[in-house]
């Protein structure tokens, strides 16, 4: 059962990414679907998105725009992904990319003395 959930999550991630790119404009920000976690009953999907090239208010606006288009996205997805239930989409901001960048920046700032 676990493998099926993973496969369904991957299909939803791929299809939803294409639908979002095709149907929703975010201006100069880049919105990408990073991960999809689906509940075992396939009724809810938590979609983690990253918003690149944006200020904090732009990130919030992007998530709000996705929430506003949730029903249309679900309808479009139901036509492309055939499941018994079309999962209800819940959008969340994925901070993993920013955390990783911050860690790399901090590591680059560390001054390691040469061992001569």
Express each pLDDT in 89-102 by its tens digit. Answer: 999 988 777 777 77
SS3 for 84?
coil
Domain residue spans of the chain:
2-109
Residue of higher predicted confidence among 55 and 35: 35
- Taking a C-beta distance cutoff of 8 angstroms, is the pair 27, 55 a contact? no
Tell me yes or no: is domain 2-109 CATH 3.90.1170.50. no
Strand order in the sheet with 88-93: 30-38, 44-52, 88-93
Distance CA 5, CA 42 (A): 8
Q: With left for phi above 0 and alpha for psi between -120 and 50, is residue 53 left, alpha or beta?
A: left
Q: Which residues contact 47 (CB under 8 A, 6 or more apart)?
A: 12, 13, 16, 33, 35, 36, 66, 89, 90, 91, 92
Instruction: Count other C-beta atoms under 10 Å from residue 33's C-beta.
Output: 22
pLDDT at residue 88, rounded to an integer: 94
pLDDT at residue 89, rounded to an integer: 94
pLDDT at residue 110, rounded to an integer: 82
pLDDT in tens, 43-96: 999 999 988 776 888 888 889 999 999 999 999 999 988 888 889 999 998 877
pLDDT at residue 116, rounded to an integer: 58
Closest CA relative to residue 34, chosen from 26, 46, 22, 19: 46
Q: What's the predicted TM-score (pTM) here? A: 0.79
């Amino acid at each position: 059962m676990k493998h099926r959930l993973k496969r369904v999550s991957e299909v939803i991630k791929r299809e939803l990414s294409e639908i979002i790119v095709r149907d929703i404009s975010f201006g100069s920000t880049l919105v990408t679907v990073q991960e999809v976690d689906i509940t075992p009953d396939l009724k809810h999907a938590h979609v983690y998105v990253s918003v690149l090239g944006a200020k904090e208010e732009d990130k919030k606006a992007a998530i709000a725009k996705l929430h506003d288009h949730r029903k249309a996205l679900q309808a479009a997805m139901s036509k492309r992904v055939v499941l018994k239930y079309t999962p209800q989409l819940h959008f969340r901001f994925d901070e993993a990319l920013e955390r990783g960048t911050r860690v790399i920046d901090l590591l680059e700032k560390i001054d390691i003395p040469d061992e001569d």
